[in-house]
Amino acid sequence: MFQFKTKNIPRIDPKSFNPPLLAELRKFSKTLDAELNKTTKTWQGDKPKFESQISLTSKEARVTPVATGSEHGWHKWMWLNWGTRVRYAIMTRDFKAKTQPGVVGSTRGRGGLAFIDVNNPQPGIEPRDWSKIILKRLRPKFNAAMRAALVKGAAKSTRE
């Protein structure tokens, strides 16, 4: 008979991964919120405020952006982010948009809504694609932060 025995094999404590992962998730959620809030910085009136939620399970670490504020503010953000096929808002002659497609941010702009004309649809809103831009920009940072947290957790996870 052959037998192999080892002494003092370290066991991994899965709970030791939670503190570094939660710390990185909290830090990252603030970064994500700051990026999303840039899109509405100069808006007046109804606008969403972003306050991300974090969740951590044994299989997944997640940061989910959540918009708070008025429903109309959220709709305005969605119309600009995803674009629309038509637009019923007739803007003043001096209107200059506060946001631009492909740019995460908001400037002063000028002018505003003159009236709504549902019988005279205008060309739609060109999508700003903020969600895609921010996701593309922050995904590598998120992945790196999660890897670093796992390394920290692994260093503390072994117990005799």
Tens digit of each residue's pLDDT (9 = 90 or more) over 33-69: 999 999 999 998 999 999 999 999 988 999 999 999 9
Asked whether 39 and 128 are in contact (CB, 8 A), the reply is yes
Residue 58 lies in a domain: yes
State which residues form the domain around 81.
11-86+127-159
Residue 122 lies in a domain: no
Residue 103 lies in a domain: no
- Cα–Cα dist 56/22, whole Å: 7
Residue 146 lies in a domain: yes
Number of domains in the chain: 1
Say whether pLDDT at 27 is over 80.
yes
pLDDT tens-place string over residues 100-153? 999 999 999 999 889 999 999 999 999 999 999 999 999 999 999 999 999 999
* pLDDT value for 14: 81
**How far is CA 106 from each of CA 20, 52, 89, 103, rounded to the nearest angstrom?**
34, 20, 20, 8
Look up the pTM and report it.
0.85
Confidence of residue 12 (pLDDT cuts 50, 70, 90): confident
Residue 137 lies in a domain: yes
Residue 153 lies in a domain: yes
